[in-house]
Structure 1
Amino acid sequence: MIHRHMAEALKSPLLVRLSERVVLARFESMKIYSALAAVRGLLERGTIRPGHTLVDSSSGIYAYALALACHRYGTRCHIVASTTVDTTTLAQLEILGATVEQVAPSEDLKLDQKLRVARVKEILAERPDAHWMRQYHDRIHCAGYHEIAGKLAAALPAGRPLTVVGGVGSGASTGGLAERLRDRLADVRLVGVQPFGSVTFGSEDHHDPEAIIAGIGSSIPFDNVRHDLYDTVHWLDFTHAMAGTVALLREHAVFAGLSTGAAHLVARWEARREPGRLHLVIGADTGHRYVPRVFARHKEAPDPAGLRPTEIGSLAELAMPWSVMAWDRATYDHGHDQDHDHEKDHEKERTA
């Protein structure tokens, strides 16, 4: 197939069998699917037009995906970037035509995220023609994952119970995949992976000093996270995620990011407990931005064969470095976040 644009060529995952019970869906950059579908949908609805500026904040993966989608469909792109965005990504964004600004450096990821949201609001006030993509809260970002779910269902062995394992992040990816896969397959479990310190599944009181698992946790609530889709949740610290990431390259020659490594470690453990199920690991991106902090330190990575989670029955028992709990598709009220509420109010004003 000859593609019309590089984004179309990059969006589809490669399926790699890691074992009899585990298959990896390895994306070049997973959010390309989401961004392409979202921008296309907004254009079709008339919400935006070619030449409009699309704005959002990002820790890296989504910024690249949105810049590609804007390049593909002829819209402008402005990114409020996290301090974790590396120089390679920044250079690509700028060459693709996106304008990029980074918030002030901060060792506190929660402060970093809040600063980015605040800056987006300032930009919207300054530029009324700009459209806020709201990747964390607008359900349009699930559309691309619904599309890829159909292709994955057709490619995977028929009739075998399936467990999807991946980072929770904004909720659109693993949640969107599970929603559509459950429409097509009889037995689909969803296992979510979280870093300690994320509010999404209640680990905000646990501090991991090395946590850089960008894209799978959050310091603010996300509307796109549907807690009632998840059967099991795992919380991992940086060292365990690094162990899974290094092992993935060492054992399977797969160079992938830290969230993929965390999901890989979780899937190994889940597959031993449920040998009759096929486990699909969602590999969100490549490992390039993790070279200094992860791959260059590969000798420090523990052997994953000796790692086991603490099985807990409630969030009160949550403990580092690795915990697992049956979530059983329960809802979750993580309380009200002031910045999140202000963000929702602002969007209501814009769409009124």
Structure 2
Amino acid sequence: MDQHIAEAIGRPDLIRLDDRLVCLRFETMKAVSALAAVRHLLDTGAVRRGDTLLDSSSGIYAYALALACHQYGMRCHIVGSTTVDHTLRTQLAVLGATLEQTEPCSDLKLDQKRRVERIHEILAEHPEYHWMRQYHDDVHYLGYRAVADRIREAMGGAAGGAAGLTVVGGVGSGASTGALARYLRGAHARAGAPADGPADVELVGVQPYGSVTFGAEHVPDPEIIIAGIGSSIPFGNVAHELYDTLHWISFDAALAGSVDLLRRHAVFAGLSTGAGYLAARHERERAPERTVLFIAADTGHRYVDTVYARHREAAALAELAPREIAHQGQLALPWSRMRWNRAPAVAAAGVIPPRSVPR
């Protein structure tokens, strides 16, 4: 029996949509990382009950951290973007979290920069606060070990069977897709198989156009940068060398994926899930011998007006296919795909080249 609602909210469902297509569905995925991170900080003495935990958020992490603070008797202070809506503001207030919202800004990079600057101002005023650094600290990987164990158990031991498993999801901070791949590959290696063998776990990251994480900042999306899967500022806990393949997906294509997922499989999920579903279907078609699992990070409720109300505009998935590219200079909307081949990040500014290894 769960001891707190946060534990139930963070536990995912595994839903088989097709013979080789599985949805890992969360109500609020970041509850997994927030709970484990706070528990680890308490266990190691980095923080104590009653301390204030601080971070910046565009919405979902704010709720997850507020829940973790509620469970463990901590105070929570959030510097939030203008995307934090009335429903979430009300929940945070009742949970006892303090929310500061930045001034409205149409430039996402400027909005994120302002929030980080405000974090530093608060830390200067209150050095006793603990900055959670959700985009930079590997402590947020910890919660996904249990999720990897659940995937392996549900799929009968070796994840994906003899032909292997392909995990698809938004890159974001790296603490979901990156962590799952790290734990799944680690368990597979301990079982005696080579880490890069044919039965290994492949990781497919999904990015929006305009994200700097894998070098797409030079291609803007006329709609928005999809929240949660990309960033206009560098993230410190993305392990680039974990990713085999990348998909860049526009708002319009992700909208089509979200609508099709609800219409075809009755899964009501967020916009990043629509992008992941689109990429997962394509990867399944390319390698029909492998099981493909994609992540649904949250429900679709906050996307009712911006996505689902536009369902009549959604393109049929049969009309969508990725453009295969060799480097980021070839990126083009609405959908591009590139083999990354577990290459490390390149520190220099500009385009990040993939390692030249055949598929």
In 2, distance between residues paired with 1:336 and 1:8?
Answer: 40
Query: What is the correspondence of 1:31-42 to structure 2 with a 5 Å cutoff?
Result: 31-42=30-41
Q: Which amino acid aligns with 2:248?
A: W
Which of 199, 216, 230 aligns to 2:212? It is 199
Contact 1:246/1:261 (<8 A) preserved: yes
Contact 2:56/2:78 (<8 A) preserved: yes
Determine the structure 2 residue equivalent to 1:6: 5
Which of 181, 184, 204 aligns to 1:181? It is 184
Contact 1:153/1:184 (<8 A) preserved: no
> Secondary structure, in 3 states, of the residue corresponding to 1:38?
helix
CA 289–28 in structure 1, closer or farther in 2 if over 3 Å, else same: same
Query: What is the correspondence of 1:167-246 to structure 2 with a 5 Å cutoff?
Result: 167-185=170-188, 186-246=199-259
Contact 1:32/1:69 (<8 A) preserved: yes
Determine the structure 2 residue equivalent to 1:285: 298
In 1, distance between residues paired with 2:6 and 2:269?
Answer: 19
Deviation at 1:81, TM superposition (A): 0.6
Determine the structure 2 residue equivalent to 1:165: 168
Query: What is the correspondence of 1:46-195 to structure 2 with a 5 Å cutoff?
Result: 46-157=45-156, 158=158, 159-160=161-162, 161-185=164-188, 186-195=199-208
In 2, distance between residues paired with 1:209 and 1:95?
Answer: 36
Deviation at 1:18, TM superposition (A): 1.3
Deviation at 1:119, TM superposition (A): 0.6
Contact 1:43/1:49 (<8 A) preserved: yes
Contact 2:211/2:225 (<8 A) preserved: no
CA 87–152 in structure 1, closer or farther in 2 if over 3 Å, else same: same
Deviation at 1:212, TM superposition (A): 4.4
CA deviation vs aligned residue, 1:139-159 (integer Å, no higher than 9, x gap): 100000122111211112442
Deviation at 1:128, TM superposition (A): 1.6
Deviation at 1:334, TM superposition (A): 5.0
In 2, distance between residues paired with 1:142 and 1:285?
Answer: 18
Deviation at 1:209, TM superposition (A): 2.1
CA 334–234 in structure 1, closer or farther in 2 if over 3 Å, else same: farther
Contact 1:166/1:281 (<8 A) preserved: yes
Contact 2:173/2:235 (<8 A) preserved: yes
Contact 2:137/2:236 (<8 A) preserved: yes
Identity within the alignment, % = 63
Greater displacement, 92-101 / 327-336: 327-336
Task: Tell me how many residue pairs correspond in the alignment.
Answer: 336
Greater displacement, 121-130 / 193-202: 121-130
Contact 1:199/1:334 (<8 A) preserved: no
CA deviation vs aligned residue, 1:67-106 (integer Å, no higher than 9, x gap): 0000000000011111112211111111111000111111
Q: Which amino acid aligns with 2:182?
A: E
Which of 309, 313, 336 aligns to 1:323? It is 336
Determine the structure 1 residue equivalent to 2:353: none
Contact 1:308/1:322 (<8 A) preserved: yes
Q: Which amino acid aligns with 1:147?
A: A
> Secondary structure, in 3 states, of the residue corresponding to 1:166?
strand
In 1, distance between residues paired with 2:275 and 2:300?
Answer: 13
RMSD over equivalenced CA pairs, Å: 1.2
For structure 1, which runs of at least 5 residues remain unmatched after alignment? 338-352
Q: Which amino acid aligns with 2:324?
A: E
Greater displacement, 312-321 / 193-202: 312-321
Greater displacement, 107-116 / 157-166: 157-166
Deviation at 1:268, TM superposition (A): 0.6
In 2, distance between residues paired with 1:114 and 1:336?
Answer: 18
In 1, distance between residues paired with 2:266 and 2:146?
Answer: 28
In 1, distance between residues paired with 2:40 and 2:58?
Answer: 23
Q: Which amino acid aligns with 1:289?
A: R
Q: Which amino acid aligns with 1:155?
A: A
In 2, distance between residues paired with 1:290 and 1:113?
Answer: 21
In 1, distance between residues paired with 2:92 and 2:292?
Answer: 34
> Secondary structure, in 3 states, of the residue corresponding to 1:172?
coil
Which of 276, 301, 312 aligns to 1:263? It is 276
In 2, distance between residues paired with 1:128 and 1:202?
Answer: 34
> Secondary structure, in 3 states, of the residue corresponding to 1:289?
helix
CA deviation vs aligned residue, 1:153-178 (integer Å, no higher than 9, x gap): 11124424100000000011100000
- Structure with the largest fraction of helix: 1
Q: Which amino acid aligns with 2:82?
A: T
Contact 1:181/1:188 (<8 A) preserved: yes
In 1, distance between residues paired with 2:233 and 2:261?
Answer: 30
In 2, distance between residues paired with 1:297 and 1:319?
Answer: 23
Deviation at 1:196, TM superposition (A): 0.2
> Secondary structure, in 3 states, of the residue corresponding to 2:18?
coil
> Secondary structure, in 3 states, of the residue corresponding to 1:191?
strand
Deviation at 1:10, TM superposition (A): 1.2
